[in-house]
Copies of this chain bind each other. A is one copy, B any other.
Amino acid sequence: MRINGQHTRTIWVNGDGWSVEIIDQTKLPHVFETVTLRSMEDAARAISDMLVRGAPLIGATAAYGVALAMREDTSDAALEHAIQVLGATRPTAVNLHWALADMKARLLPLGASDRLDIAYERAAQICDEDVETCRLIGAHGLQLIRALAEKKNGDPVNILTHCNAGWLACIDWGTATSPVYQAQAEGIPVHVWVDETRPRNQGAFLTAFELGQEGVPHTIIVDNAGGHLMQHGLVDFCITGTDRVTADGDVANKIGTYLKALAAADNNVPFYVALPHSTIDWSLSDGVKEIPIEERNPAEVTAMQGRVPGGEVVTVDIAAPGSPAANYGFDVTPGRLVTGFVTERGLCDASRQGLLSLYPEQARASA
């Protein structure tokens, strides 16, 4: 999608043919700045320090991390080491492990001299495949928005989203935002309620930024507001991304997603989750019991980054001095609260039966 009118992806190989460029998303929306990754360790740090975030982009960055590792050493040991280091950067992200397993499966059988070229080739392919996946998610989700628009008589379809499952979390298009961008492109009037998404403010910082850059009408709200909006008919449709979906349709996503799903269910507002197939963890069933939830640095709760007048970015303390804080990164929304999934293969119920209807090969795989 566009930044300052220029089409941009979130990760690309530079003109030198080997170093990898990413957007430093920790600085958005205050500053647009890119960072060059020159080693596997650079890639690992970019993931763990959240310069890149979002399941697909984390996977793509890990894949390029493996490619960067191969530049230095193409041995089996170096490959195993890279996969171990990169795999330890973010425990909840299943895409990370999917991308690393994919890279390993392709590179390990090759002779050491072939690994470097194939690693870069495959990383580029992972990016292109994600762009196509997100485009397809958008095309399927667009059907839902189109149907809602028909009932609105030209009024905008009000869409609520949490966190950032936009193109900044992917390579392009985004997951939850892809239907919105495609609706806008088709001339359907849309308006997005953007949950601020404390504590890291990915909504107010990233989703609002990318919607603004694409000219999509939107309004930032605090995470507390969605229930009130739904009670008053001001939300037609909720759509979020996800970090991990179980085979039974439970959804791990940014902390607070569960609260919005409860409000949607209480007010009969459709609540959809957009995801690529790589986000489904077929080995898990009960998400609340089985998905480990990352506890992050409490300073993310008690301090916040912002711009002072003049543009300088500073970090301020925003809690009573001496009061401790806790920082749970994700929560799990049970499938019973999710109206449906939007994947690259189409729409389905948030259940094992629903997922297997789109991915029947998984039934055969586990049979």
Residues of A within 8 A of B (CB): 28-29, 194, 196-199, 201, 204-206, 208-209, 211-212, 218-229, 231-232, 254-256, 258-260, 262-263, 266, 288, 293, 301-308, 314-328, 330-332
Is there contact, CB below 8 Å, between A228 and B328? Answer: yes
Q: How far is the CA of A317 from the CA of B29 in the complex (A)?
A: 10
- Bound complex: CA of A29 vs CA of B198, how far in Å? 20
Kindly provide the distance from the CB of A228 to the nearest chain B CB, expressed in whole angstroms.
Answer: 4
Contact of A256 among B201, B224, B302, B314 (CB under 8 A): B224
Bound together, the chains give a CA A330 to CA B219 distance in angstroms of: 18
11 extra interchain contacts, Cβ-Cβ under 8 A, other than A221-B328, A222-B256, A222-B327? A204-B301, A205-B320, A212-B320, A221-B325, A224-B255, A225-B328, A262-B262, A262-B263, A303-B306, A304-B306, A304-B318
> Quick one: given A204-B302, A318-B304, A331-B231, are A220 and B262 in contact (CB under 8 Å)?
no
Q: Are B220 and A198 in contact (CB under 8 A)?
A: no
Separation in Å of the A23 CB from the closest CB of chain B?
14
Nearest-neighbor residue (CB-CB) of A266 within chain B: B262
- Kindly list chain B residues whose C-beta atoms are within 8 Å of the C-beta of A303: 306
Among residues of B, the one whose C-beta sits closest to the C-beta of A210 is B320
- List, in ascending order, chain B residues with CB within 8 A of A258's CB: 227-228, 231, 263
User: Can you list 17 A-B contacts with CB-CB less than 8 angstroms, sorted by A residue number?
Assistant: A198-B222, A198-B223, A198-B224, A204-B319, A204-B320, A205-B320, A220-B301, A224-B254, A224-B255, A226-B259, A227-B331, A228-B293, A228-B328, A306-B318, A307-B317, A308-B315, A308-B317
Whether A197 and B221, one on each chain, are in contact in the complex, defined by CB atoms closer than 8 angstroms, is no
Q: Give the Cβ gap from A92 to chain B, nearest Cβ, in Å.
A: 13
Most chain B Cβ neighbours within 10 Å, of A254, A256, A322: A256
In the complex, the answer to whether A321 meets B228 with C-beta atoms within 8 Å is no
Query: Of B228, B259, B318, B325, which one neighbours A263 at CB under 8 angstroms?
Result: B259
Given contacts A228-B255, A255-B224, contact A301 B196 (CB under 8 A): yes
Most B C-beta atoms less than 10 A away, residue of A306, A315, A318: A318
CB-CB < 8 A to A319: which residues of B? 29, 196, 204-205, 208, 220
B324 engages A314 (CB within 8 Å): no
User: How far, in Å, is A61 (CB) from chain B's closest CB?
Assistant: 23
A306 and B301 contact, Cβ closer than 8 Å, known pairs A256-B227, A293-B228: no
